[in-house]
Amino acid sequence: MSFNIHRFHFFGSRETNFLYLTLGLSYFGKGLINIFIPIYFWKLGFPFWKILLFYFFISLFFIMIAFLIIPLLRKISDEMMLLVSIPFLIAYYLGLSFIVSVPFLFYVLPFLTAVHMFLFNTGYHLKFTDAVSGKHIGYELGARDAIGKVFEFSAPVIGGLIIGFLGFKINFIVGSIVLFLSVLPLFFVSKRKFPAKLSNHLVWNLLKNKDLRPFNKVALGYGAETMVDRIIWPLFIFLVIGNIQVFGGIISLGIFISILTAYCAGFLSDKGKRRTTIAFSSVLSSMIWVARPFLAVPLLIIGSHISGKIIYSPLMVAWASQYYKIAKKVSAKSVFIFVQEILYHIARIVFLPILILLSLIFPTEYFFKIAFILAAVLMLSYLFANKMNFDNINKDEYSIKE
């Protein structure tokens, strides 16, 4: 029996199926490592301010790379961006093992992961924008998120077990191998290049475009809030729990329970409930952050983490469906994607120094509380997405065609 790979379908088009597979494997590989990096630094003896400074350098390098690399983007395809990005991430993960013995790596490693993030995120969103169906964006995003979580949910608990028994270094190696495998499905999808007329001027035009301003505000809020969610909250859970294996299990449980809500949110978005989902989920997520400064019992902290993931997952699907709806509507879709990535890191360049200062001024207990309150405020920025008027987005306003 012969197998025709071009007829491989299980959720969407052939293109989206292979993109789901790439996303799933990359989620698993990164899930083995990323959530543990702040804890790894903490166990090495890094104070909070230094951990936050490491992530600040990532965003700083990202912005520098973004504007310097524009001439290169005109010459390579989205597939090549994804392929080239993986060696940088593998070098980053492997280099983490030597960050104490080679102190200069503290400045080199953020550069490596910034290159990866820029190439991978930009290339992936560009490819997915073309592959996703205009009539079923919510459904395909819900499926994408659910499939990604199916791959991802076991990664933290497996990563915790590997670290607990074999150490961080072995976990970095295992994650790197999985990430190498994640690019193989990309050989079965079509290539797409950035427009030849891409320039800093066009990027600036979209940054200041008044019709996109509400969505750009969300990008800034997202960029800042995720720094609390990905760095400070995991550290808080670990310091309370105190066991790396149990910590990994908690993170995995939160991802697993959120799978169903991610998938259902896609259907709601396609049924015209996108704005309702964004409003409801952002307010509830904000309330969960507000409650976290008052949590001290491990069971309540675990419950807060799980409930937060259940609410946050549909918010991400609804917001992402707006993201791709805009990207498909404007003629300069690649520039729009480029701008969104830049905005995330502009927000972090501003927000992370604030967190660094707070960590130096306040005792650890109060630093956590203040960071959680700031995250609660930032969650409300998603409400700006509901102020988007898609009828005002006119393709003729943009000066390039793709």
Q: What is the pLDDT of residues 127-160, one digit of tens each?
A: 666 555 555 555 566 566 666 677 788 899 999 9
- What mean pLDDT comes out for the span 207-220? 84
Report in angstroms the alpha-carbon separations of 229 from 28, 237, 277, 303.
19, 11, 20, 15
More confident residue, 81 or 278: 278
Query: What count of other Cβ atoms lies within 10 Å of the Cβ of residue 294?
Result: 10
- What mean pLDDT comes out for the span 32-48? 95
Residue 9 has pLDDT above 60, yes or no: no
Query: What count of other Cβ atoms lies within 10 Å of the Cβ of residue 383?
Result: 18
Q: Which pLDDT does position 122 carry in this prediction?
A: 77
Residue 57 has pLDDT above 90, yes or no: yes
Of the spans 122-131, 325-334, 363-372, which averages the highest pLDDT?
Answer: 363-372
CATH class assigned to 11-390 = mainly alpha
Q: What is the rounded CA–CA span in Å between residue 51 and residue 60?
A: 15
Q: What is the rounded CA–CA span in Å between residue 327 and residue 357?
A: 37
Q: What is the rounded CA–CA span in Å between residue 192 and residue 368?
A: 44
Q: Is residue 357 very low, low, confident or very high in pLDDT (cuts 50, 70, 90)?
A: very high
- What mean pLDDT comes out for the span 320-329? 77
Q: What is the rounded CA–CA span in Å between residue 333 and residue 320?
A: 14
- What mean pLDDT comes out for the span 98-113? 95
Q: What is the pLDDT of residues 173-205, one digit of tens each?
A: 999 999 888 877 777 665 555 554 566 667 777
Q: What is the rounded CA–CA span in Å between residue 331 and residue 397?
A: 9
Nearest in space to 128 (alpha carbons), one of 391, 358, 321? 321
Report in angstroms the alpha-carbon separations of 131 from 8, 261, 262, 333, 390.
15, 23, 20, 13, 21
Residue 382 has pLDDT above 50, yes or no: yes
The DSSP symbol for 5 reads G
Helix-helix angle 244-268:274-291, to 10 degrees: 150
Q: Which residues lie below 8 Å from residue 259, measured CB to CB, with a gap of 6+?
A: 146, 149, 150, 153, 313
Residue 13 has pLDDT above 60, yes or no: no
Q: Is residue 10 very low, low, confident or very high in pLDDT (cuts 50, 70, 90)?
A: very low
Q: Which residues pair with residue 77 across a beta bridge?
A: 193
Q: What is the rounded CA–CA span in Å between residue 228 and residue 186?
A: 32
Q: What is the pLDDT of residues 244-294, one digit of tens each?
A: 999 999 999 988 888 777 666 655 555 656 788 889 999 999 999 999 999
Q: Is residue 94 very low, low, confident or very high in pLDDT (cuts 50, 70, 90)?
A: very high
CB 284 within 8 A of CB 311: yes
Q: Which pLDDT does position 45 carry in this prediction?
A: 94
- What mean pLDDT comes out for the span 286-313? 92
- What mean pLDDT comes out for the span 312-316? 85
CB 188 within 8 A of CB 5: yes
Q: Which pLDDT does position 290 carry in this prediction?
A: 96
Residue 208 has pLDDT above 80, yes or no: no
Instruction: Enter the tokens of residue 89.
Output: 């991430």
Query: What count of other Cβ atoms lies within 10 Å of the Cβ of residue 14?
Result: 16
Nearest in space to 319 (alpha carbons), one of 180, 179, 138? 138
CB 74 within 8 A of CB 81: no
- What mean pLDDT comes out for the span 38-50? 96
Q: Which residues lie below 8 Å from residue 4, measured CB to CB, with a gap of 6+?
A: none
- What mean pLDDT comes out for the span 377-383? 94
- Side-chain-facing half-sphere of 49: CA atoms under 13 Å: 10
Q: Coil, helix or strand for 77?
A: strand
Helix-helix angle 333-361:364-379, to 10 degrees: 150
Q: Which pLDDT does position 308 carry in this prediction?
A: 93
